[in-house]
Structure 1
């Protein structure tokens, strides 16, 4: 799916009890744990913690500034991890915070950040079976650009 960054973008606007924080060594374990939880519910892949964390220092597609983290009183509640190629690698909202608008707000923050970096669009992949995610991405103005059949394993 793709979101053109030319049209007007919405401000993120999350609930008052939620705040954006920088990705750092202290919240990295909780961020990784949430990404793993998201993989269990929505598919995709997340490397083991050490490999995943090392990628921020060794892989040119990883940039800590492109790991958007939201916290509430209980800790990390949502994360969007993006690649420098204007690609959303993972977006997960903790199930305890579903239906609060955090996914849409986080997407809007990602769109804003990539527009500031001079990108014309943002891409992501989503499983056809992940209907909740597909509806979220459609509400955020993303459009289908290509479909792939998965190889049976």
Structure 2
């Protein structure tokens, strides 16, 4: 899916009691656990912690300032892991924080950051059967971009 960043990004309010920070290695285990939980609900899988952290922190598109971590009093409740290519790699919200607008706030925050970086678009991938996520993405102005296959 794709969001045109030349269009205005709606204002948003962070849910009460949420603090936003950036990825730091000491948060790796909690972020990894949340991603594992999210992938169980939305399909897919996450490598073991050591492998995931090594791949994440050494990826050429890695920038810790583009990995937005939402915290509440109990710990990590939301992650928007973005790459420097204006790509949202992962978006996960803990079940205890779902339904409060946190996923929407993380997306809109990422859009604002990419606008400030003068990006024209932001992209992400979503499984076709993940209808709940698709509705969220559409509600913030993202549109389906169809893949074009080259005849072989």
Q: Structure 1 length normalisation: TM-score?
A: 0.90
* Conservation of the 8 A alpha-carbon contact between 1:12 and 1:106: no
Question: Match of 1:91, SS?
Answer: strand
Structure 1 residue 53: deviation in Å? 1.6
C-alpha separation between the residues in 2 aligned to 1:136 and 1:102?
11
Of 36-45 and 92-101, more deviation after overlay is shown by 36-45
Question: Match of 1:146, SS?
Answer: coil
Question: Match of 1:16, SS?
Answer: coil
The gaps in structure 2 that reach 5 residues or longer are none
Structure 1 residue 61: deviation in Å? 1.5
Q: Deviations over 1:95-117 (max 9, x none)?
A: 11111000100000110111111
Question: Match of 2:69, SS?
Answer: strand
Structure 1 residue 22: deviation in Å? 2.0
**What does residue 137 of structure 1 align with?**
137
Larger proportion of helix: 2
Question: Match of 2:39, SS?
Answer: helix
Q: Deviations over 1:47-101 (max 9, x none)?
A: 3211222234422122111111000111101001111111111100001111100
The gaps in structure 1 that reach 5 residues or longer are 149-153
* Matched residue count: 149
C-alpha separation between the residues in 2 aligned to 1:62 and 1:47?
17
Structure 1 residue 144: deviation in Å? 0.5
Q: Where does 1:1-153 land on structure 2 (aligned, <5 Å)?
A: 1-147=1-147
Q: Deviations over 1:99-141 (max 9, x none)?
A: 1000100000110111111110100111111111011000010
Structure 1 residue 147: deviation in Å? 5.0
C-alpha separation between the residues in 2 aligned to 1:132 and 1:41?
11
Structure 1 residue 25: deviation in Å? 2.1
Q: 1:44 to 1:66 in 2, by over 3 A?
A: farther
Question: Match of 2:122, SS?
Answer: strand
Q: Deviations over 1:9-36 (max 9, x none)?
A: 1234212211101211222210111011
Q: Structure 2 length normalisation: TM-score?
A: 0.91
- CA root-mean-square deviation: 1.7
